[in-house]
Structure formats: C-alpha cells, structure tokens
Amino acid sequence: MTSTNITADKATSKKKVRRVETKQTAHTKKTKVSKTKQFSALDAAARVLAESSTPMSTQQIVEAMAVKNYWKSPAGKTPAATLYSAILREISAKGNLTRFIKTEPGKFSLNAAVQLKSGE
C-alpha cells in the first residue's frame, strides 16, 4: 500500500496538484505468485510448433495455443495478425538465430538449427 500526500503550489494563479509517493516498506509490499507458468505469445508459438510436424498458419497456432492452454489473447481482436507481426519482427531482428522460419506465404515452422531452451 502506498500513501499519497497532496500539496498545492501557490506560486501560480492556477493551483497545481503534485503527488508525492512514499516508499513502500517490506512488510506492506505484496507480491503475486503465479502457480502456473504463463508463456508469452512467441514462446507459446515456439512450443506449439515444436510439438507440430507440419508448418502452421498463425491462426492455427493461436487456436492450438488456446486449446493447449499455453496462451490466450487478452481480449485482442486480431491475435493471429499480432502473432504474425511478432514472428516476422523476430525473424528480421535475429536472422539465422531466430526460432521461426517462414516455409511459405503465411506459414511458419520451427527453425531446426536453433535449440529451444528448456521450459519452452
């Protein structure tokens, strides 16, 4: 829990409100501990593709991630398009060290040359 002090600045004609946060102490700080590991969309996609023997479209990957309970879209309207974009960004950023390869237009597979970390 943090407490907030509000002070007014009287130097101007308009009152400015400034919030001053106080430090949290160790006994007031609460942390959430997740019981199950939640994967990011890219990590979940890599895991789904590792379990698949054929290239998949991002729509198929998103559906498989939801069925296997690896990742679910947090109310996004186009999770497949978002995943497609994220995979392409990883491919362009990491080059040959990427986890994904584009096998044909709209389909991806896991890059066999890259070893997945344990837990993915």
Strands 100-104, 56-57: parallel, antiparallel or unpaired by DSSP?
unpaired
Q: Which of 88, 118, 85, 82 is nearest to 100 (CA)?
A: 88
Express each pLDDT in 40-61 by its tens digit.
899 999 999 999 989 999 999 9
DSSP codes, 25-62: PTTT------SSPPPPHHHHHHHHHHH-SS-EEHHHHH
41-110 CATH fold: Arc Repressor Mutant, subunit A (1.10.10)
Break the chain into its structural domains and give their ranges.
Answer: 41-110
| Model confidence, pTM | 0.65
Q: What is the dihedral of CA 32, 33, 37, 38, to 10 degrees?
A: 0
How many other β-carbons are positioned within 10 Å of the β-carbon of residue 101? Answer: 18
The pLDDT tens digits for 58-85 are 999 999 999 999 998 888 899 999 999 9
